[in-house]
Amino acid sequence: MNAGAGNADAVNAGALTVIEAGSTQVTDLGRRRGPRFGVPVNGALDQRSARIANILVGNPETAPVLEITALDAEFVADIDILIAVSGADGHLTVDGVGRPTNQPVSVRAGEAIALRQIQGGLRSYLAVRGSFDVPQLLGSCAPDSVLGFGGRLVVGERIALRTATAPVFNAHFTAELYDLDVPRLPTGFIVDVTDGPDLDDFAGTADRLFAQPYLVTPKSNHIGLRMTGPLPERRTQGEVLSRGVPVGAVEVPPGDELLVLHRGRGVTAGYPVLAVVTSGSLDVLAQVRPGQHLRFRRLSASDAAARARAELVELEALRLRVRSVFDALDALSTATTGRTLL
């Protein structure tokens, strides 16, 4: 089933056409119901950035977005829309004019939206107010290569849009009327982990995980990142039975590489789990390119939970700022035209 195809029974406002596909797919925050059926969660690898993009255009955080990985991409909508791009830095243009990322941006029908020169990370996320009408499997549009659901977009593909949004411009400077304080990606690739269930199996070698940087190899993907560096050694004997394994599991398989499972991982595995990456650092891992280095840092479970709560508070504060801006714009539009704008 094509992740870019809309629901034929729905009445849509318009469509976004792919002009340059790069490596882009439609996704969301993942298939939360999947693991109970033996299906991976999948979804946006950098969930924080995907959430921010949706928040900036007033969507629910779970709404579908475009995940643009590494390569240039370009799109044209046949209706007026409001977009936002978050994640790795890139050069965003609308009809050739540079526009800001991490802010809502108005786009008129027929104008080309291009994201080029992605840097400082690997993945960017493009959200459209009202989002996309796309097929779902178990409550999610996230692609799954094993099930043959969804996949990368192709040139000429049309993605159904649910909502048109009239442009919001300063008539004197042709600039948006808002400037939001948006949380930025963390600098440096520091990956926080908590102790894993098999920590004791590695006896005195577990601290090697934190001793030196690890190099991410080209064999890395959405299922897991493979990396080389000082490997801890399992000191116990015997097989590790296949069992449920969390997203973010740091595994030490036989060989010369460390394996860190990401959102596309299978729900069971049979390698010892030395550590587990925190939810926030999964987003950091999503931005590391092959050939780059990262460092692991140990956190207690309580500290990891506190950081997760702080990130939720930060996103909620952004959501409130965006809501205040949209409410003010609607009030202004109603006062001057007699109709709401957003």
The one-digit pLDDT tens for each residue of the chain (342 residues) are 334 444 444 468 999 999 999 999 999 999 988 777 888 899 999 999 999 999 999 999 999 999 999 999 999 999 999 999 999 999 999 999 999 999 999 999 999 999 999 998 999 999 999 999 999 999 999 999 888 899 999 999 999 999 999 887 665 455 565 667 787 777 779 999 999 999 999 988 999 999 999 999 999 999 999 999 999 998 887 677 677 888 999 999 888 999 999 998 887 777 899 999 999 999 999 999 999 999 999 999 999 999 999 999 999 999 999 998 888 877 766 655 555 666
CA 215, CA 288: separation in Å to the nearest integer?
10
What is the C-alpha R_g of the chain?
Answer: 21
- Contact criterion met (CB below 8 Å) for 67 and 168: no
Parallel, antiparallel or unpaired: strands 190-195 and 293-298: parallel
Question: Would you state the pLDDT for residue 179?
Answer: 66
pTM listed for this prediction: 0.90
- Contact criterion met (CB below 8 Å) for 6 and 160: yes
Cα-Cα-Cα-Cα torsion 340, 107, 170, 130, nearest 10 degrees, comes to 30
Cα-Cα-Cα-Cα torsion 63, 118, 260, 263, nearest 10 degrees, comes to 10
CA 275, CA 283: separation in Å to the nearest integer?
16
Q: At residue 67, what are phi and psi to the nearest 5 degrees?
A: -100, 115
- Contact criterion met (CB below 8 Å) for 103 and 84: yes
CA 263, CA 265: separation in Å to the nearest integer?
5
Which run of H or of E encompasses 76? strand 73-77
Question: Would you state the pLDDT for residue 266?
Answer: 84
Question: Would you state the pLDDT for residue 188?
Answer: 79
What is the greatest pairwise CA distance in the chain?
A: 76
- Contact criterion met (CB below 8 Å) for 283 and 46: yes
Task: Count the residues in the chain.
Answer: 342
Question: Would you state the pLDDT for residue 11?
Answer: 64
Nearest to 331 by CA among 342, 319, 318: 342
The amino acid present at 270, given as its one-letter code, is G
∠162-31-194 over CA atoms, to 5°? 130
CA 226, CA 141: separation in Å to the nearest integer?
26
Half-sphere exposure of 249 (CA within 13 A, CB side): 23
